Amino acid sequence: MTDTFFGHVIDGEEVPSVDGATFDVWNPWTQEVFAQAAEGGPEDAARAVASSRKAFDEGPWPRLGRVERAAAVHRLADLMEARSDELATLDTTNMGKPFAQAKHDVGRSVQNFRFFADHQRDHTGETYPMDSGHHTYSEYGPVGVVAAISPWNFPLMMASWKVAPAIAWGNTCVVKPSEDTPASVTVLGRLAVEAGFPPGVINVLNGHGTPAGSSLTADDRVDRVTFTGSSATGKVVMASAAGHLAPVSLELGGKGANVVFEDADLDNAVRWTVEAIFRNSGQVCLAGSRLFVASAIYDEFMERFVAAAEALTVGDPFDPATKFASLASKRHFDKVTSYVDGVGADGGTVVTGGAADDGTWLVRPTIITDLPRTAPAYCEEIFGPVCVVNRFDSEDEAVGLANDTRYGLNAMLFTENLSRAHRVASRLRAGTVWVNCFFIRDLRTPFGGVGDSGVGREGGNFSKEFFTEPKAVVMQINR
Ligand code: NDP
């Protein structure tokens, strides 16, 4: 139980892998290994699932009253809140995001637990009076064991987004964080033990996608699989879960369109455009990586946008002044730079940014123009601080450009014209459309994507649908 070794948390105990295997845990800013984590193999995955299965089939958790379960989940949230500095420090150390953003993410993670604790308590079933002299009511019971596989870009927050609704609705769960960021999720598992959760309700399995993650998705004792990551891996996860008919919820990649009309409030549009593509160094599935600007304001907007991008304070993520830091891993740095390196050959112009060229894994806020729509940097998810800009001359053209992608997670639009805002929001093919803002989220609303951006929605009643088995009970009423 240290911050230099992150074991699996299985059945209420932190344990090494059965074969003792470990892997390095990196600090991407200092480029140093700061800890070791247990390298989960098939045997560890099987142990974790068996423990969660037993906790579901025989343990008290699914049988607790709603109020009692809500109280337990709030106890975990209390502990997370009390340890928010430690959790944020681990996410910044392990992933490289600025500390203030990591603190914000921990706050949102705590909120996820609190929201779903209350939501399951307050949202019970429906009744359906019938003319035939019967009535039917619905019940929402837990489904069983949930496998939650989470990515490295918001290590704690993305895991909490899955674990919180899963356990709040009475399920047990095995969460596998990304191999790049095991730290904060392991501490979450430790805190569940400290909060007095029955063994197996939250198990943490560390390790690589294969074999740790793939062993979970293939295990027929798993009843639901919730995954956030790349579209390519999402397909593999779905095929694996299909082997035992486990429903999946997939939140996958994005190539978000950001459309700025000529009647936009430019100060507001620039502020959110910077946030949309450079927050978390662009390592956000929701990033506004394709920017479309009305020709009438293109020059003025670009002047302001480029200036704002260049003004971001870049540096050590623990320095309170820092707004923008390095990428999360060497592998990811190489991926992002390979896209930027290809821009010139594809006919594009790098207006500002590019790799820092100082040995760090830093890619500066990067803005690209003149790219053809077939270029990889234009149409593929880069998942970095790289914004590709185009201009448009009409609303129809803007909608056509924005929808010209196989992704459909989210889009942003900026206009002061109310009718245009509604009209365009409705025409954009995306799971979420933000008008004159970005990243604002109400946990009751549906979240997810269309096309290659995913399958299913989570949030509020949408999470309830996924993490429960609805049952209809039909009653005869004798008259
Ligand atoms: P992956 O999709 O490969 O990984 C996401 C998670 O799935 C990780 O926990 C990973 O483990 C796990 N995983 C990988 N393979 C399997 C498998 N066969 N079965 C079960 N679980 C598996 O994303 P990467 O982290 O490699 O990032 C690659 C790209 O994916 C990024 O550049 C970005 O484009 C996109 N991405 C999108 C995210 C989003 O928020 N939508 C988040 C992260 C990435 P491990 O890390 O150990 O391989």
pLDDT tens-place string over residues 361-414: 999 999 999 999 999 999 999 999 999 999 999 999 999 999 999 999 999 999
Cα–Cα distance for residue pair 37/17, rounded to 1 Å: 9
Residue with CA nearest ligand 1 atom 30: 230
For ligand 1, the distance from its centroid to the CA atom of residue 297, given in whole angstroms, is: 38
User: Distance between CA atoms of 56 and 204, rounded to whole angstroms?
Assistant: 16
Q: What is the pLDDT of residue 222?
A: 98
Mutate which of 230, 235, 458 for ligand 1? The one with the most ligand atoms within 8 Å of its CB, which is: 230
139 catalytic residue (yes or no): no
Give the closest residue (by CA) to ligand 1 atom 44: 229
Active-site position among 14, 179, 285, 387: 285
The yes-or-no verdict on residue 118 having pLDDT over 80 is yes
How far is ligand 1, taken at its centre, from the CA of residue 187, in Å? 21
Our answer to whether residue 251 is catalytic in this structure is yes
pLDDT number for residue 134: 94
Q: Which atom of ligand 1 is nearest to the CA of 382?
A: 34
| Ligand 1 binding pocket, CB closer than 6 Å | 149-153, 176, 178-180, 208-210, 213-214, 217, 228-230, 233, 236-237, 251-253, 285, 335, 381, 383
Q: Which residues contact 305 (CB under 8 A, 6 or more apart)?
A: 270, 273, 274, 291, 367
Give the residue-averaged pLDDT of 112-118. 98
Rounded to an integer, the average pLDDT of 28-36 is 97
Q: For residue 152, how far is its CA from the centre of ligand 1 (angstroms)?
A: 8
Percent of residues, the chain, with pLDDT higher than 70: 100
Q: Which range among 72-81, 104-113, 129-138, 183-192 shows the weakest confidence by mean pLDDT?
A: 129-138
What pLDDT was estimated at residue 2?
A: 60
Q: For the segment 229-288, what is each residue's pLDDT rounded down to a tens digit?
A: 999 999 999 999 999 999 999 999 999 999 999 999 999 999 999 999 999 999 999 999
Report the nearest atom of ligand 1 relative to the CA of 336: 32
**Ligand 1 atom 32 nearest Cα:** 383
On the question of pLDDT at 1 being above 50, the answer is no
Instruction: Quote the ligand 1 centre to 113 CA distance (angstroms).
Output: 23
**Inter-residue contact 157 to 234 (CB < 8 Å):** no
The atom of ligand 1 lying closest to the CA of 335 is: 32
Q: How far, in Å, is the centroid of ligand 1 from the Cα of 226?
A: 12
| pLDDT of the residue at 435 | 98
- Does the pLDDT value for residue 445 go beyond 50? yes
- Residue 19's Cβ-side half-sphere holds a number of Cα atoms within 13 Å equal to 11
Determine the average pLDDT of the residues in 433-442.
96
Residues whose CB is less than 8 angstroms from the CB of residue 166 and which lie 6 or more positions away in sequence, other chains included: 146, 148, 172, 173, 224, 226, 467
Of 39, 251, 275, 381, the active-site residue reads 251
Q: Return the bridge partners of 6, or none.
A: 37
